A and B are shown apart, each in its own frame.
Chain A
Amino acid sequence: MSFEPRIVGFLCNWCSYTGADLAGTARIKYAPNIRSIRVMCSGRVDPVFVIKAFSEGADGVLIAGCHPGDCHYQEGNYKALRRYLLLKRILPEYGIEPERLKLEWIAASEGERFAHVVNGFTEQVRRLGPMNCKGALIESMKDDVLIHEEHAAQGTGERR
């Protein structure tokens, strides 16, 4: 059986998620490998979410937001871009190819583009193969995520 990558997609509510919705209502077929998580803005995507997704076994992570200048929250997508560039440098530390992370701008009207991006990225991750990051590195990644979560939960009854 060929390798089917598992991809986590963080989609912003206003553009990319709506674009994905449009792809659905327009009956456009795209790779079923992506599992979408809706966030209000791509700026909500905490780099820890990406690390967490990889540590939980994702083979690729897609962050999608509004086109520059089109952000519903004015500039949340620019904040996402900053964090994305940072993540690109951090991921190799865990033994993860930076090509497993992708940031794309997809507008609400771009259902076709959403399908195109998902298909392209799925192919890209498929070529990279399953995650090489194993054993100790995965453990350290999980530890880092846990430390962050515990730190955030400190002093409160729940995690934020």
Chain B
Amino acid sequence: MMDAGGKSEGLIRLEIDGRTVSVPSESTILDAAKILGIEIPTLCYSPLIEPYAACRICSVEVEFPGGKKRIVTACNYPVWEGIKVYSDNGKVRRIRRMIVEMLLARCSSVAVLQDLAAKYGIEEVRLEKQDEKCILCGLCVRVCAEIVGKAAISFAGRGLHRRVATPYDRQTEDCIACGACALVCPTGVIRVEDMEGRAVAHEELQLGPAKAVTVPFLQAVPNVPYIRADRCIHFQTGGCGHCAEVCDREAIDYEMKDEEIEVDVGNIIIATGFELFDPSVMRQYGYGRYKNVLTSLEFEHLNSASGPTGGRIMLANGDAPSVVGIVHCIGSRDKRYYEHCSKVCCMYALKYAHLIKEKTAAEVYNFYIDMRCSGKGYEEFYDRLLAEDVRFVRGKVGEISSVPIGEGEEGKLIVRVEDTLVGMVRRIPVDMVILCPAMKAQPDAKELSRVFSCSVGRDGFFIEKHPKLAPVSTTSDGVFIAGACQGPKDIPETVAQGAAAAAEVLSLIDRKEIEIEATTAVIDEERCSGCRICNTLCSFGAISFDEQKEVSVINAALCKGCGTCVAACPQGVIKARHFTDRQINSEIEGILR
């Protein structure tokens, strides 16, 4: 479309509240108002979805070039050349006031309508009041159909009976529980409920990423977002795709797949860390049943300044706790689960107690078996906490329940514990319980140890070559271990081990050449009959057959010196250095003398 007025091609000029703006021809009045920063209230509008004009709250008055005036809905009314829009004149305000009043009469307890009523000065609703929650804006229906591509909900009924429903009002398999409808709902009437109990640990605290596009965690390197296919609507229905639309770098590629990359390296440091014991198997502690029973990791997240509550310590209902119990040794130092001590829990439990005291007025109980505060400055910290009036109860907690018996137990979690210092069983009502679960080895550590031919102990942690002299080495040359994969340890120790492992690797790289074990096998070529029995025995491919000489030869660089070929040679012409037949025979003679 050509324009002779010297204006930009394809742009339309209009005036809103006396201010002029040029916008592309496909824009709506609402789009134009947004550019000018003029606020027009909306309820049924979402920039992601086709406008629908159900709520009428965005009504504005338009004056056409001929002087004719009309009330239209800004969200779906296209811009015209030369129109004048009045977004907030007396007539518009009157109309909106009536709309809000009618909506509020239907949904008298919806906060967003109450706010609008206050804005438009509605003090008393003149119509009969109802207590609906849904304003029938249709956002949820449209988002499900347009973006999710599922149409699991739609309008049902007519006129007065119109409502949003699933097919036949039954639980529907079409719903993929993406939560898009709940997200767009302006009144908050739609809620996605977790049917299995614990995808959401804490109403305020969604552990792990809640959105499909997320960074793994704030300190992640590289700190770039990724798409979780199990949560992403696009991967489930093929719909949505909004992230790709809004990304002007075109960085989003739905075709990307996990791939295996082979990298040639000379040294490997295993630093696979630990796994936290899942306390839900210890039913008596109610983890998974009571919302205010958290693991230490969950509390850490709750307490984090970059966490879901901005670091505010709160219960599931948003209140501040008045009593908090910290239960030590969940699954660790326990013959039924893990015998080892997780080492770090005592100290972080003390840290939590200190932080709770600092941030809230709550009373803090520590339920411990033994306080193990060895390390520089640790015992002093414990002493400080004793002085800070943190309660310490020595005894293993037997049960956490919500069943009140005595006074003051109503609405609380009751920690039943044998106080071994007093010599009696106590019931202590608390608001929040923090469990300190065992640090356990990664479940695939054994598998990994086979890959690297090093070993793991009975507890599943990697075994170092020597506990004192080679604490980060393994029985495989060039393979090192660092951190909690070797055993429970705190951050300073982990950092020290990591640095030690890196130094070991650097010293190997720096040397430019590798020392190999002197215990290799050699073949006496003069006497080798060329039977080739040894050729297939070698697991390392170190033995080959010299076709010209018709003898087998050993590549000393590949030979690891196990001696399997030596024991197999029918001619007895393979010699194992440092483990010769003569040496071993002499040993046998010696020990049986």
Contact = CB atoms under 8 A, between A and B. Distances in A.
A159 B582 CA distance: 6
A149 B584 CA distance: 12
A58 B540 CA distance: 34
A76 B588 contact: no
Given A43-B562, A79-B568, A152-B581, A56 B588 contact: yes
A142 to B, nearest CB: 12
A40 B562 contact: yes
Contact of A109 (B456, B524, B537, B560): B456
A79 B537 contact: yes
Nearest to A107: B455
Contacts of B540: 73-74
B463 A44 contact: no
A39 B563 CA distance: 8
A152 B573 CA distance: 6
B7 interface: no
Interface in A28-70: 35, 37, 39-41, 43-49, 52-53, 56-58, 69-70
B456 A40 contact: no
Given A56-B588, A74-B539, A43 B563 contact: yes
Nearest to A153: B572
Contacts of A45: 567
B413 to A, nearest CB: 40
B585 A76 contact: no
Contact of B455 (A47, A70, A148): A70
Contacts of A49: 584-585, 588
A95 to B, nearest CB: 18
Given A40-B561, A109-B456, A155-B526, A73 B539 contact: yes
A118 interface: no
A57 B562 contact: no
Contact of B564 (A14, A76, A110, A155): A76
Interface residues on A, range: 35 or more
A46 B562 contact: no
A69 B571 CA distance: 30
B475 interface: yes
Nearest to A79: B564
Contact of A43 (B456, B564, B588): B564
B453 A57 contact: no
Interface of A: 6, 8, 14-15, 35, 37, 39-41, 43-49, 52-53, 56-58, 69-76, 79, 83, 107-110, 148-149, 151-156, 158-160
13 contacts: A8-B588, A8-B592, A49-B588, A53-B588, A56-B588, A72-B453, A72-B475, A73-B560, A108-B463, A152-B572, A158-B582, A160-B524, A160-B582
Closest 8 CB pairs of A and B: A152-B572, A44-B563, A43-B564, A73-B562, A41-B562, A74-B539, A35-B591, A46-B567
